[in-house]
Amino acid sequence: MEYRYKPSGVCSREMIIETDGDIVKKVTIVGGCQGNTQGISKLVEGMKIDEVIKRLKGILCGFKGTSCPDQLAKALENIKNNN
């Protein structure tokens, strides 16, 4: 299933998340720090949604109060709660 998420408080503009049951199949992050967002995307592929949330939730970027990894965790929480 493909989901689209509009992050807030970060440089990235959109997160496109593909899941298969409780597994993250692919993540594409539009905008943001390209190297970091590509790295995050590759690292979470094949992981269980709960594990990604556990590892990324609460990570901050400077003084923003959130980050692209934190926003990805929030997106995955939304996916989990709406299924």
Prediction pTM value: 0.95
- The sheet that has 23-31: what strands, in order across it? 2-5, 12-20, 23-31
Q: Which two tokens stand for residue 57?
A: 């939730």
Q: Which domain holds residue 46?
A: 2-82
Per-residue pLDDT of the chain (83 residues; tens, 9 = 90+): 999 999 999 999 999 999 999 999 999 999 999 999 999 999 999 999 999 999 999 999 999 999 999 999 999 999 999 87
Q: What is the CATH number of the domain that holds 46?
A: 3.90.1010
- List pLDDT tens digits, range 27-38: 999 999 999 999
CA 42/CA 78 separation, integer angstroms: 21
Q: How many domains are there within the chain?
A: 1
Report helix, strand and coil shares of the chain as percent, to nearest 5.
40, 30, 30
